[in-house]
Chains A and B, each alone.
Chain A
Amino acid sequence: MAKRRILVVDDEVGFTHLLKLNLDKDGRYEVRIENQGAKAVETAREFLPDLILLDIIMPEKDGGEVLAELQQEPSLKNVRVLFLTATVSIKGVEERNGTIRGMPFVAKPVEPKKLIKRIEEILNT
Chain B
Amino acid sequence: MSSTKQETQGTGAKSAVRSLIRVLLVEDNLADARLTEAFLAASGLSQFETHVVPTLTEALKAIAGDQVDVVLLDLGLPDSFGLATFEKLHAAAPELPVIVLTGQTDAELAIKAVQGGAQDYLTKGEADADLLSRTIRYAVERQRIELALEWERKLFRTLMDNIPDAIYFKDLQSRFLQLSCAQAKMFGFKGPEEAIGKTDFDVFTEEHARPAFEDEQEVIRTGKPLVGKIERETLADGRLQWALTTKMPFRDKQGRIIGTFGISKNVTEIKLMEETLESERNLLRALIDALPDHIYVKDKKRRFVLCNNAVARFFGLASPQEVMGKSDSDFLPRELARQFEEEERMLLRGDAPSVNRETGFGDRDGRTHWVITTKVPLRDGRGGITGLVGINRDISERKWAEEQLHQLNLDLARNQKELLQTYENLKQANEELKAAQMRLIQAEKLESIGRLAAGVAHEVKNPLATLLMGLDYLAENFKDAGEDVAMTMAEMQEAIKRADGIIHGLLDVAGSGQLEMAEASLNGVIEQSLLLIYHELHQKRIRVVKRLAPDLPRVRIDRRRIEQVFINIFSNAITAMSLDGELRITTVVGTEADGRRKVVTTVEDNGPGVPADVLSKVFDPFFSTKPTGMGQGLGLAVARNILDMHSGKIEMNNRPEGGACVTLTLYT
Contact = CB atoms under 8 A, between A and B. Distances in A.
Interface string B342-363: 0000000000000000000000
Given A21-B473, A110-B465, A91 B458 contact: no
A95 B514 CA distance: 11
Interface string A101-125: 0000001111111000000000000
- Which of B457, B466, B476, B507 has its CB near the most chain A CB atoms (within 10 A)? B466
Interface stretch (B99-107, B232-240, B496-504): B496-504
A111 B457 contact: no
Interface in A10-67: 12, 14-15, 18-19, 21-22, 25, 57
Contact of A15 (B457, B462, B504): B462
A87 interface: yes
B464 interface: yes
Given A86-B461, A86-B465, A87-B457, A22 B508 contact: no
B367 to A, nearest CB: 79
B607 to A, nearest CB: 28
B457 A86 contact: yes
B504 A18 contact: no
B457 A91 contact: no
A49 B136 CA distance: 209
Contacts of A112: 468-469, 472-473
B507 A89 contact: yes
A89 B508 contact: yes
Given A86-B457, A92-B511, A109-B461, A19 B469 contact: yes
A68 interface: no
Chain A contact surface mostly = helix
Contacts of A25: 473, 476
A12 B473 CA distance: 17
A76 to B, nearest CB: 25
A37 to B, nearest CB: 14
**Which residue of A15, A21, A22, A89 has the most chain B CB atoms within 10 A of its CB atom?**
A89
A90 interface: yes
Nearest to A113: B472
A75 B188 CA distance: 170
Contacts of B466: 12, 14-15, 18
A21 B496 CA distance: 19
Given A18-B473, A89-B457, A109 B504 contact: no
B302 to A, nearest CB: 105
Given A87-B457, A90-B504, A91-B504, A108 B472 contact: no
Contacts of A57: 458
B471 to A, nearest CB: 9
B470 interface: yes
Contacts of B149: none
A92 B506 CA distance: 12
A18 B464 CA distance: 12
Contacts of A12: 462, 465-466
Given A89-B503, A89-B508, A109-B500, A22 B458 contact: no
A12 B50 CA distance: 202
Contacts of A86: 457-462, 465
A21 B458 CA distance: 23
Contacts of B470: 14, 18
Interface string B481-522: 000000000000000100010011001100101000000000
Question: What is the interface residue range for chain A against chain B?
Answer: 20 to 34
Contacts of B464: 108-109
A59 B507 CA distance: 23
A22 to B, nearest CB: 5
Contacts, number: 71
B467 interface: yes
A65 B546 CA distance: 54
Most chain A CB within 10 A, of B459, B473, B513, is at B473
Nearest to A90: B504
Contacts of B468: 109-112
B457 A109 contact: no
Name which of B464, B465, B473, B513 has the most chain A CB atoms within 10 A of its CB.
B465
A14 B465 CA distance: 10
Contacts of B461: 86, 107-109
A88 to B, nearest CB: 8
Nearest to A106: B465
Contacts of A107: 461
A89 B504 contact: yes
Interface in A65-102: 86-92, 95
A107 B504 CA distance: 11
B509 to A, nearest CB: 11
Contacts of B467: 109
A91 B513 CA distance: 12
Contact of A111 (B462, B472, B508): B472
A91 to B, nearest CB: 6
Contact of A91 (B460, B462, B496, B508): B508
B215 to A, nearest CB: 139
B507 A91 contact: yes
A92 B514 CA distance: 12
B465 to A, nearest CB: 4
Contacts of A95: 513
B494 to A, nearest CB: 12
Nearest to B505: A89
Nearest to B467: A109
Nearest to B516: A95
Contacts of B463: 14
A25 B477 CA distance: 10
A90 B503 CA distance: 10
Contacts of A108: 461-462, 464-465
A22 B470 CA distance: 8
A21 B474 CA distance: 10
Contacts of B454: 87
A14 B469 CA distance: 9
Contacts of B507: 88-89, 91-92
Contacts of A92: 507, 511
A59 to B, nearest CB: 12
A88 B503 CA distance: 10
Contacts of A111: 468, 472
Given A89-B503, A92-B511, A15 B473 contact: no
18 contacts: A14-B463, A14-B466, A15-B462, A15-B465, A15-B469, A19-B469, A25-B473, A57-B458, A89-B508, A91-B507, A91-B508, A92-B511, A95-B513, A107-B461, A109-B461, A109-B465, A109-B496, A111-B468
Interface of B: 454, 457-470, 472-473, 476, 496, 500, 503-504, 507-508, 511, 513
A-B complex: 6 closest residue pairs judged by Cβ atoms: A86-B461, A18-B469, A108-B465, A109-B465, A15-B466, A109-B464
Given A18-B473, A21-B469, A91-B511, 11 more contacts: A18-B466, A18-B469, A22-B476, A25-B473, A86-B457, A86-B459, A89-B504, A92-B507, A108-B461, A110-B465, A112-B472
